[in-house]
Structure 1
Amino acid sequence: MMPLDRFSGHANLYAQFRIDYPPDLYDFVLSSVNERHLAWDCATGNGQVAGVLADFFEQVEATDISETQLVLAVKKPNIRYQLSQAEQTPFADQSFDLITVAQALHWFSVDTFHQEVRRVSKPGAILAEWGYGLVKLGQDLDPILLDFYRNRIGPYWDPQRVHIDNSYGTLPFPFANAQYKEFIIHRTWSLDRFLNYLRTWSAVRQYIHENEEDPVTDFGEQLKPIWGEVERELTFPVFLRIGQVN
């Protein structure tokens, strides 16, 4: 079965308006890595994680199923981008010191991906998988956002979205010394910036495809009297699991 590609059609929006991850997350992950020769960022998207890893590793391999995303991805001399599925890669056995997957594991055949991780990892390599849940806007706007998330565009989410809502709690993680940690991303955004972020959601893109209208436009009008013209502090809850590949 071909993997799902939900992001090529709006790769430019994705590159501009998706969030990046906090430095303390990278510090936590890197503190477990003994060698820093070669890292693999799987489902790299716009290359934001690969770009950070490139500052710490001699070489970074970054893969995705979206050629459009890879064209727009962060460029550094020690990053090599390739089209590849997560579950079947061109890499040699026992290659990597670190493997990362950010906000993408729920799209994979997880057991098959983990088999591939075991094949391409050096003994004792680290696997780090993370994602982030529904953004928090504040008590005045959170119920409105939750209604939009569950009801207006809820039917347009792929079934895999439930794994994000569950912080990957129901997905297997059969690796040694497993650790689980939470982080918070803080951002201060205008309403327009927030609405463009919503337009990167796969459910919003599917809604637009099926209905030929943008649900975010009406939703923005609903938010505007409360949000106003000011910038507002937003928080994104990040969940991480990390383990050793033996």
Structure 2
Amino acid sequence: MSNPSPNWFDLGGRDYARYRPDYPEELARFLAGVAPDRRLAIDVGCGNGQFTALLARHFDAVIGLDPSTDQIANALPHDRIRYEVAPAERLGCADGSAGLITAAQAAHWFDLPCFYAEARRVGVPGAAIALISYGVARLEPELNDRFQRFYADEIGPYWPPERHLVDSGYADIPFPFRELPAPDMEIARSWSAPDFLGYISTWSAVRRAREAGQEEMLEAFSRDMLRLWGDPARQRTIRWPIAMRLGVME
């Protein structure tokens, strides 16, 4: 088989949303059940609106906020969602308006004390707040060892320092709310080899590795994964554990 790997790591920038894991419907349904009312949810750091759109199935209105004008410009449209460009530290929403405030795979970038103050300002009495993340992918056994070695040892040095907060499920961050237990959930996708390598190509660590001249390391990983995968069109199951810090404002 010829080596197509230089192309794999050009995919993510062209089609970012296609290769990102999406959260399960049950997560949005669970959070709607925790919120004291369903009039408004605010999704902070919403990116292209994948999780925002799930919330819109359960709330009368949802506001999706992100500091990136490009992300907001390309967010998924929905008649119950209003998207705005705003940072987590200045939400720009009305006082006491939201029954739920969420941040999915975003809180590690926030100035947390400022964000928490804003969340308390915009939340109704008893509002729920959820910081959600998904952990390291888990592959089928014949692929998992090679992937985990790549993640921890090869690409690991190129992750930004904030990445360890995601890997720990935000367990180490301050969370000044009455905390509630979160159910065990996961993201599961059936992907071909090009799908999986496209997902890897979206990582900021891959971009930084390329900038550091580590093309051969990336190409060796893609060659190994293609060899272990077998038929590249074969659908294989990828799983990501969901972690959540869930609290109630009192």
TM score, norm. by length of structure 2: 0.89
Structure 2 counterpart of 1:137 = 139
Structure 2 counterpart of 1:22 = 24
Distance 2:214 2:141 in 1: 32
Distance 2:61 2:217 in 1: 42
User: How much has 1:215 moved relative to structure 2?
Assistant: 5.3
Distance 1:202 1:162 in 2: 14
Structure 1 counterpart of 2:248 = 244
Distance 1:185 1:223 in 2: 21
Could you list the structure 1 runs, at least 4 aligned residues long, displaced by more than 6 angstroms after superposition. none
What SS does the aligned partner of 1:134 have? Answer: coil
User: How much has 1:223 moved relative to structure 2?
Assistant: 0.9
How many residues are aligned here? 237
Check the 8 A contact 1:11/1:72 in 2, yes or no.
Answer: no
Alignment of 1:110-125 (within 5 A): 110-125=112-127
Aligned pair in 2 of structure 1 residues 64, 214: CA closer, same or farther (>3 Å)? farther
Please give the root-mean-square deviation of Cα atoms over the aligned residues, in Å: 1.7
In structure 1, what residue type is equivalent to 2:129?
A: L
Distance 1:210 1:195 in 2: 20
Aligned pair in 2 of structure 1 residues 112, 131: CA closer, same or farther (>3 Å)? same
User: How much has 1:241 moved relative to structure 2?
Assistant: 2.1
User: How much has 1:212 moved relative to structure 2?
Assistant: 7.8
Distance 1:114 1:42 in 2: 11
What SS does the aligned partner of 2:153 have? Answer: helix
Structure 2 counterpart of 1:35 = 37
What SS does the aligned partner of 1:180 have? Answer: coil
| Segment drifting more, 207-216 vs 29-38 | 207-216
| Segment drifting more, 11-20 vs 227-236 | 11-20
Structure 2 counterpart of 1:224 = 226
In structure 2, what residue type is equivalent to 1:55?
A: R
Structure 1 counterpart of 2:102 = 100
- 1:15-43 CA-partner distances (Å, limit 9, x unpaired): 11101111222222111123111110000
Distance 1:214 1:29 in 2: 43
Structure 2 counterpart of 1:54 = 56
For structure 1, which runs of at least 5 residues remain unmatched after alignment?
1-9
What SS does the aligned partner of 2:142 have? Answer: coil
> How much identity, in percent, do the aligned residues show?
38
| Segment drifting more, 192-201 vs 168-177 | 168-177
User: How much has 1:159 moved relative to structure 2?
Assistant: 0.4
- 1:182-222 CA-partner distances (Å, limit 9, x unpaired): 21222111010000011111111222233384854432111
Distance 1:11 1:91 in 2: 31
For structure 2, which runs of at least 5 residues remain unmatched after alignment?
1-11
Structure 1 counterpart of 2:73 = 71
